[in-house]
Each structure stands twice: as C-alpha cells, then as structure tokens.
Structure 1
Amino acid sequence: MSSEKREEPRQLNVSVKVLNPQIFQATKFVDPRFTNIVIVAMDETGHPVEGCKVNYSCELGVVDTNSYRETDKNGLALATYYSFRVGKDVLKISLEKPGFLPTFAEAPVEVVETATPLKVVNNIGKGGILLNGERIGEGSVEKVVKQPGIYVISWENVEGYETPEPVKLYINPNFSVEPITVEGKYVAKEEKREYVELTVHVCITLDDHSGIPNPVPDAQVFLSDGQTGITDKSGFARFKVKANSGLLKIKAKHPQLYECYQEAEINIGNKDRHINLDFGIFFGGEAVVGLEI
C-alpha cells in the first residue's frame, strides 16, 4: 500500500462587491442600465488565486456575455448584470479550481422601474410649484417621472416678486434617467438684473412609440453673443446672458449627425428663459420657445 499522504483541498476566500446595488430596469431603446459586480478570489494566506472557473445564475435578470468566466492574475472577475424586469434578484456565483474547495457567493441587486428624477427649487424658499397645472409643493419639490410626456413647470405669484416664466420639459424615461433640476427664480419687482439665465435643452424625437423627444448629450450650442457650450447628460446647456438685451440667436449642432444644426431666436428680458431645440425624427425638428407647440 502507498504511504503517500493525499493533500486536502484548500480553502478559497471570495469577496463580492456590487458597485450599484439598485439599478433602473433596462429598456429596448437604449443600452442596458447595468451594475458591475467585482469578485475577488484569495487563498488562505491572502494571495490572489488565478484561473478559478466562475459561473453565474439569477432568476430575474441577465449576466452579460462579456462577464469574466475565470479569475485573472489578480484573482479578480468582473460581472455585468441587467434586467428588463422589476424586482429584487440575487446573482449566485460559484468558483471552482483544482486543489480548492468549491466556493459559493451571492450578490443582491434591486431593479426599479425606469424613471427620471425631477427636482424643482425656488430661489426664495417659497412660492407654489405646479406641474401641468396641479400644485405639487412650495419652495422645493422632488418627483419621479415614470411616463414619457410633456411636463410644464409653472409657479404661483408671490407678492413683491415677478413670477418665473413657465418651463416646458420633454421627459422620456425610455431613453434617459438622468436627473433634471429646474430653478424657479423669483425677482423682486424693483430689481433690475444685470444677467439672466438661459437654459437650452437639445433633444431628438425617435420612434419609441411615445413621440416624446429624448436628450442629446455633448451637443455644441452657439449663441449670437459669442458664448458656446456643451450639453450635459440631460441634454441641457446653461448660459448667463445680459438681461434686457433683446433678440438672441441660438444654434445647436448634433454631435453625431454630420453638419446637422437646429436654430432658434429668443427675446431676452428680465427673466430667465428656457428653450427646447428638437432635431426631430427626420432631423428637421422644431424649436420650442416657452410654451409654444
């Protein structure tokens, strides 16, 4: 009989970190909204273990095919998870390598309904805020918009102040869940402002069956007073322009469509202004100033 001693399987220590434990559900109109899960395998001495076979399973969502199927030289594996369904899910992870005991780990993820966070803040801390004519708060309010649509923010009168101009928003959670913040700036009636804020929203209408435009990030915006800007992830570019300066020309250039522009003119007075520049489904689009349709 052989007296050779058989080695016992070693212990594999696994740590799991979910980079974003709560994500919005994916839609068919945009790249999936996902979270990454970082998996690290170490031996009992704290050294990384390379070459562990990694398997994944879950009930609600999907593990992207580009996820690591074995640990690298740093003992690391990266998984990408997304889901078209709403709910709580658990990503189950198993790691195996000859000479080590099979090891199991879990990564909880919550998938919430696609929505766009909307925040409205008044500069004076008071003044009723209305959404599509319905009073939703005073001074400051936060809402979650779940349905694509046209949303008009307006304000109640406050004695001694000029009421802010209404703001027409195109909100389409099918395409964007980037937060939107709108400021209601009440100005004392006797105050003569040196500058006002101009907000330019660059968007494009695509066929998602809602007819509501979605934001265009990274669009260049040019003003006839010489200012230029780039839209943020929500499609907004903000400028300070000289108050009561009269007619101002605005031009936006789409970042991906060759030499495709949208233009508008707006009259600058003593109040902040908002304008929507929509490139449109056939890139003809429209410019919407104030509440014009």
Structure 2
Amino acid sequence: MKFGVRKPSLKKSIKARTTGKIKRKVKSSVNPLYGKKGMGYVNNPKRAVYNKVYNKTTVGINPLSKLSTPSHTSTKTSSIKSDQAIGYMKKEKKQETVPVRNPVEKWIRRVIRRDDSDTKIITRTVITEQYTVKEMLDIQEEARSCLHTYNQSMRYLTDTLNAEVFFPRLQEAEESLSTLVSLTQNHSFLVAEGDNVIEAQNRLLEEKENIIKQFVHTHFSESIKGADRLKTDRGRRNRLKSNYNELSTYFSDLPQSTVEMINTIWNSVIPEKDLINKK
C-alpha cells in the first residue's frame, strides 16, 4: 500500500475534466445508480476497500490547482455539526377550511362579497418531510444494504442447485427489494432510484414462477444424473426421494400449480404414492 504524496499527472487531470466528464454523464443517463455513494462496495467491494485505504494514506497534488490539499480533507467539527443540520426538507401547499373569526372580515365578506359562510379556504405551506444529514445517511445506508442483499441473492439463484439455498434466497431477494421500494416511496430524496427498483420488483413478481420452474427442471436433471452414478437401484431410489423431499419442504410457500408441476415431473421417476403434497 502506498503512503505519502501521490505522483501528479497533468494528462490525467485534464482528461478527468474533459473526456472523463463526458463519459460519466453518458453512464449516468443510462444507469441512474451510476456514481451513487456506496455503489462501489456493491459492484467491486475489494476495489472499494483498496481505494478507501489509498485515499486515507496518501495526499493528492492537483497540478491544475494552486493549492494542493489531501483528497480526504475534512474537518471533524464541521462533520459533527453537519450530522445535526437539516439535509433535506420537502414542502407542500395544502388547502384548509378554517372559521372566520375576525368580525370586520365577516362583515366585509357578507356585505361586499355577499358571502354568508363563516368559513374560508386558506393555503398553507407545510413541511411534509425533513431529515438531518445523519438521518439521510442512515436511510441511504439501509437502501444500499437492501440493494446489496438483493443483488447477492439473485446471484445465488442462478448458481445454486440446492433447494435449501434457492428458496430462502428467493424469499430474501423479495423481502430486500420490497424494503427498498418502501424506502424510496417513503423518502422522496431517494426517488431517483425509486422507478428502477419498482420495475425490478414488478419483474421479479412476474418472473418468479418461471424462475422457480427453471430451478425445478435443472434440479430434477441434476438429480437424475447424480442417481445414475450410483451402483444399486436402491441407492438410486433413495437419492431421488431425498432430492424430491428437499423440494417438498417448501411446498407450503408455493402456488398449487407449481406444486402440481413438480409432482408431475417427479412422478416419472418416483411412484405417485410416494409423492408428498404438503400444500
């Protein structure tokens, strides 16, 4: 790990302000999550940790600036105060019906405006959301954690052939995505990510049955291959029944149509009387 002053590069400094700036704008327009704080830990945790340590142990010298300062320059006192400062506030105009209490106003309304009503409609600006910097950071961290959990779970779904891994991870992906959608809906400063996670949730719900079916077929094929490698018929039957029982454990969480589909597939290698329908 490097310590001390980083080697300045005029070429890289200029490129970051020209070509690099254009590329970042293009990527941001395609992927709304690009450049968001915390995405480095999601996409490449090893590199993110390295960069964090590198920026803490070295000092950057900007050849385009007259004053060189460490890249991690920050004042602890100001950061502590900023935690308590208001970082985001959302205001909305709302109409309210209130009684007319002023006698002069009542007289004017009745005589001049010919309005006999003792109530009036007023518009007030009210604060609907307000967060300190610390609260915003905590909410953003929770959102990043949910996104990381979702991405990790979806990777497991495509890699595993173990039912004891697949179904809990599928549920974990649903729950983390649901929490992320709730966060973006309840906290408007996260709205930039909201549309994408809502679309991801809708896709997951639409494709959930197909994802399960694909896993079931792959799991069944691998079970047959594994059983065929055994020497005795009894061993093959026991292996197949064991693999089927792995799936049957989760029947209570599956739609009836999916359970019937699983039983139909496995009925070709296991007698129907041995099939367990726990739905």
Larger helix percent: 2
TM norm structure 2: 0.22
Q: Which has the higher strand share?
A: 1
* TM, length-normalised to structure 1: 0.21
Whose radius of gyration is greater, 1 or 2?
Answer: 2
